[in-house]
Amino acid sequence: MAQAAESSGMSRVGIFPQMPEAEYRELQAANWSTLKHFRRSPAHVKFEMDSESKPSFEQNLGTIQHMAICEPAKFVNQYFVLPEFQWNSKQAKEHAVSVLTKAEVIPASRDPEELLSLRKSELLEVLCEGGRKPIEQDVYQTCREMSRAIWANKFAKKLLEGCTLTEASMLWNDSATGVYCKGRVDLYHERLGYLIDLKTTDNASFYAFRASVERFGYAPQLAHYKNGLEALGKKVKQVILLAVENRPPYGVAIYALSEGAINTSKVLLEEYLRRWQYCLQTDSWPSYQQEPQDMDLSERGYNQLEAL
């Protein structure tokens, strides 16, 4: 189960299963979503570090989808379908407020007459006071269908039922560089030693999904999580990608990431972490090269010229 947090200088280290995502985002530590910007330049990394840590629409949607699949009971308790509001008459408003009150979405302490005077945006703020969050019907339905598809897969079901960590935050000091790191694992099956990452995709077939793994840098992301778990005393024997399509028929595919992919990713990670360390120590975050750089056309570029 969860490893108790312990002190490391001024920084916490450990596994924190109950840490809210907002708190995790505020932590000043190296994570893959920031480190990956070294592909472009240190300046891009610094910009990402200094940007407000508000999640994007895609990140919010991913959080909802992950909860629906990994923690279906929690999903039902935390989200509800937002009815189609009609604010063109008092009667329509009364109906909407009545439906939401009966569903125990609106706190019983709120005055119905006051609610009728609110605009739709203001009412949505009231809906969140009870701890549940409204989502659109199509998002809710898609999440439920994806969850059903995952749980209908016998191997995936076995993995999910045996997981000891779900959406757990980790804080650790990297063993090779000493850099303070963070990561948030989707799932960890301690008995099997499986690090499991849930990915939603528009195509889970082998070649299409492998292209996504390469394009979005999933291998170094998971190598980072593996480093974190192992630094905190957890064994990782296998890294599993659990892919589910976000459109009917919500196909499910399960892939075991190769040892070669993980080990090569660890070399890249160490390089990025050392660059992070240097930039922090020198407070220098340069953009691209400062001097002119020779550029030739690629073979494809020459072929395109010849075809003109």
pLDDT per position as a tens digit, 14-26? 999 999 888 998 8
Q: What is the pLDDT of residue 115?
A: 77
> Would you list the DSSP string of 30-87?
B-HHHHGGGGT-HHHHHHHHHS--PPPHHHHHHHHHHHHHH-HHHHHHHEEEPP----
Average pLDDT estimate for 182-198: 96
Residue 36: pLDDT over 80: yes
Instruction: Report which residue type is found at 9.
Output: G
Average pLDDT estimate for 225-243: 97
Name the β-bridge partners of 196. 187, 240
Average pLDDT estimate for 285-308: 92
Q: What is the pLDDT of residue 1?
A: 35
Query: What's the mean per-residue pLDDT of the chain?
Result: 87
Average pLDDT estimate for 141-157: 93
pTM for this model (two decimals): 0.82
Distance of CA 46 to the CA centre of its chain: 21
Q: What is the pLDDT of residue 2?
A: 36
Sole residue written with tokens 């009150």: 101
Helix, strand, coil percentages in the chain from 3-state DSSP, rounded to 5: 50, 20, 30
Average pLDDT estimate for 169-197: 96
How is residue 31 written in tokens? 């994570």
Lowest mean pLDDT among 46-55, 98-107, 251-260: 98-107
Q: What is the pLDDT of residue 66?
A: 84
Q: What is the pLDDT of residue 7?
A: 37
More confident residue, 256 or 11: 256
Q: What structural domains and CATH numbers belong to the chain?
A: 6-72+140-282 (3.90.320.10), 83-135 (no CATH)
